[in-house]
Structure formats: C-alpha cells, structure tokens
Amino acid sequence: MIDFSKKPLFLAPLAGFSDLPLRSVVKKFGCDVTVSEMISANALVYESSDKTLEMLKKSPNEEPYVVQIAGSDIENIKKAAQIINKFDGIYGLDLNCGCPVPKVVKQGAGSALLNDLDKLQNIISAIKSVSKKESLSVKFRLGFNDKNEE
C-alpha cells in the first residue's frame, strides 16, 4: 500500500519515455512509485500484440508499479482492466485524462474525456467494478482548452 503521509515521489507517465529502462533507473535514484507509459485500452483488447503486452512488464525493483490506460469506449476499458488483472506485480491502474495529443483527443480519449464528465464518471465506475488492483487514479489537466474556457 502506498503511504501518502510520507509524500511519495511518483514518476509521471509520459508516452514514449517512461518505459521499463527509465523506470528502473529512477527507482534506483529514489522514485517511490513508477507508472507505465500510456497504453491504449483498444490496443490491449484488440491487438494484444507482443509490443503492447511488453509495455505492461516491470522490473523487479518496481514496487509499487501502476499501469496507465487510455481510451473512450467503456466496454474496451473494462476489458483492458480485466486483462491487466491477469498480471501480477501491478499495484494499480491510472486512467489518462490529460493527454492533449490530437490523435488521442480525436478518439475521445485523454483530455477529451474532460468534456464529458458523465462519461468519465461511467468509465471510472466501470474500471472500479472489474479491477482487482489496489488503486485507481486519474491523470488529468486543469481544463481542456489552453485558457480553461467552458
């Protein structure tokens, strides 16, 4: 269990950067919690390729380790959480609601979820209903637009 009273240091997930080698190094330098780079729920459900499954792997020194998923389809996100349930050594799930990359936003994922809070609530509830991991967190940004306009 993560003891938040000790103000743990998290490695924030960043697609293309927070891969296993980097996470292993930052653990050696005092990072308390590592988080995978963003993994597409659709990729986990439909592809389950070696490359996608490789992104779930962790090094032995990564305790606790959290996997970040992204998506917009509630059923696929539930299925992705169930796939992740099968992997030992994963402490929790993190839902990406912060990615502003157009390719992700066009799919209704990442920061696009901030435009539909009812859907976001349903996604969180869906993950909670199936996940057997210790924690569920959400990475988000202050708003969808640069100026935080409504």
Does the domain formed by 8-140 have CATH 3.20.20.70? yes
Cβ-based neighbours of 44, under 8 Å, separated by 6 or more? 52, 69, 79, 80, 83, 84
pLDDT band at 48 (very low <50, low <70, confident <90, very high): low
Task: Answer yes or no: 99 catalytic.
Answer: yes
Task: Say what the pTM is.
Answer: 0.89
Which stretches within 14-73 are classed as H helix? 20-28, 41-42, 50-54
Q: Over the stretch 91-119, which tens digit does the pLDDT of each residue have?
A: 999 999 999 999 999 999 999 999 999 99
Query: Among 38, 95, 99, 112, which one carries the catalytic annotation?
Result: 99
Find tokens 């996470």 and name the residue: 23
**Domain residues of the chain, as ranges?**
8-140
